[in-house]
Structure 1
């Protein structure tokens, strides 16, 4: 399959599995799925959302995450990670993610992250910057 499996995800990223992602059972360990979620979210934020994780005044902290496992992934495999935004609040965003093995229409995992945006120094919630908010709207479905 060359096209993305789920059209209600406006952003897609390919992620290569690594040998170290597999566990002794021969499939990607559950903790790695959260890393894949974080990769698609943070990659998009840096590339399209205006996030500067090293020096920006506003940063996102994960306050909630969930992953549902549907089918195994393993090394060597390329993952297709689909991303959409389910909700945008004043200072929070719910990112919704699906993972597929490239070439498969069977969903391997689905889940979400909720980020609260805070001032880097005080760690107090702050409004999502306007540039980021405008970009996030493009991921709402």
Structure 2
């Protein structure tokens, strides 16, 4: 199985320049039969006067869809984007269903654990 990036979109909001190192985030938005839709964003490394502090977010812990801290996700990001990957048989280029363990792992990233 091989994954092809079939769509890619990026929207620029505010500049980031060398030597700044932005915080990159990735979220699984949708899991299909043979495809995965991702959302991506870059956040400024340090708050500026134009953007409220992101430092109180511990982005490394992650947030699930609907979390109140995600209400201003796009307005705080320097860049937002999306990407769709389709997984295919390399010999035929025909879409293949995602392996069940991979699918389960992706689905766990989409919603909090019960309990």
TM-score, length of structure 2 as denominator length: 0.67
The answer (yes or no) to whether the contact 1:82–1:99 under 8 Å persists in 2 is yes
RMSD (Å), alpha carbons? 1.3
Q: Distance in 2 between matches of 1:120 and 1:79?
A: 35
Q: Distance in 1 between matches of 2:34 and 2:81?
A: 20
Q: Distance in 2 between matches of 1:123 and 1:113?
A: 19
Q: Distance in 2 between matches of 1:59 and 1:139?
A: 21
Q: Distance in 1 between matches of 2:109 and 2:22?
A: 20
Q: Distance in 1 between matches of 2:24 and 2:32?
A: 24
Q: Distance in 2 between matches of 1:135 and 1:95?
A: 14
For 1:74, the equivalent position in structure 2 comes to 17
For 1:102, the equivalent position in structure 2 comes to 45
Unmatched 5+ residue regions in structure 2?
A: 48-53, 55-75
Q: Which runs of 4+ in 1 moved over 3 A?
A: none
The aligned length equals: 84
For 1:138, the equivalent position in structure 2 comes to 108
Larger radius of gyration: 2
Unmatched 5+ residue regions in structure 1?
A: 1-57
